[in-house]
Amino acid sequence: MKRTNGFTLIELLVVIAIIAILAAILFPVFAQVREKARQISCLSNEKQIGLGVTQYVQDNDERYPPGDYTKNGRLMTWTDFIQPYVKNWRIFRCPDAKADPFGMWSHAVTDPASTDGDGVLGAGWWTWGGSYGMNTNYLTPINGCNSNQMPNSTFGIPVTEAQIDEVANTVFATDVKDLEGPDPNNAFPYMYFVESPAVLTAPIACATFDGWGSGGQAYFDQPPYSREPGTGTGMVSIRHNGGTNVIFCDGHAKFYTPGNLAAGTDWNKNAQDSNVHITDITKYLWSLRKSGPNDI
């Protein structure tokens, strides 16, 4: 019998099967490529922010910005002090952040410097609801929990560059988790600081927020506060292929896995909250001091 032009049903099924197999192989690759692109875009944001930080430090007697500061009833964060140097609010939002928590960014006014006065829309969302959290435990320390408090601030007086042994090896900020509050209709907007992995050592006996770990008081590693629970990294987000982008105090930025970022400590994913300790201060990337008995 003479065969007519065209494919048989078997041939079509074979072609479809081959296409399905190729798709199953390639789609995850494409997803990884897109994720890598967002990670690189985030790192670019952080490099610009890092440059702004170094310019701010140069203009302010080598002192780093406050973690936050209340002025005329409005809570300002470190981003308010850096924004004039980068002249762009949107670089404070990671392109890989999975959500716009309760529309805090989409509802922000065009000019974030303005506000409707109730602390909900406008500048408040831009400064509180960013994607990068400052290392406030070390860069704005509270000595003994009750002294060295900066007026009108949650934190202590910011340190100077001279107080840091190695600015190129000291964390300024990392990706921070998108957080919520216990009320599902309201966000927990304070996403501008992160916890250091280990609890501070003497003579600074405590920190504003405790270290990494799970259980206990690890509010930001479990529901209802965290949209990224169970990482054991406190408020530090590992949304970039299981890691985070980090800004250092000299302005450069780099990708780190949680284990590398917690180098010099006994941290592991299942460590208990407030029970992570410094084991080798020469490798610890968060402290001001890199040698001796004290970390600050």
What is the crossing angle of helices 78-86 and 9-59, to 10°? 100
- pLDDT at position 214, please? 76
Does 14 score more than 70 pLDDT? Answer: yes
pLDDT at 186: 52
Region 80-92 average pLDDT: 89
Q: What's the average model confidence in pLDDT over 176-195?
A: 69
Whether the predicted pLDDT of 134 surpasses 80: yes
β-strand partners of 278: 265
Distance CA 130, CA 212 (A): 20
pLDDT > 70: percent of the chain:
72
Work out the average pLDDT over 136-164.
Answer: 81
DSSP sequence for 132-200: EEE-HHHHS--BTTTBSBPTTSSSBPPPBGGG-S-GGGSEEEEEB--BB-SSTTSB----SB---SSPP
Residue 170's contacts (CB-CB under 8 Å, 6 or more residues apart) are 135, 138, 164, 248, 249, 285, 286, 287, 288
Over the stretch 34-83, which tens digit does the pLDDT of each residue have? 777 788 899 999 999 999 999 999 999 999 999 988 887 777 889 989 99
Q: What is the average per-residue pLDDT within 117-141?
A: 69
The angle at the Cα of 73, spanning 70 to 76, to the nearest 5 degrees, equals: 35
pLDDT digits (tens, 9 = 90+) for 245-280: 999 999 999 999 999 999 999 999 888 877 888 999
What is the model's pTM? Answer: 0.81
Which of 23, 40, 93, 14 is CA-nearest to residue 243? Answer: 40
Confidence of residue 98 (pLDDT cuts 50, 70, 90): low
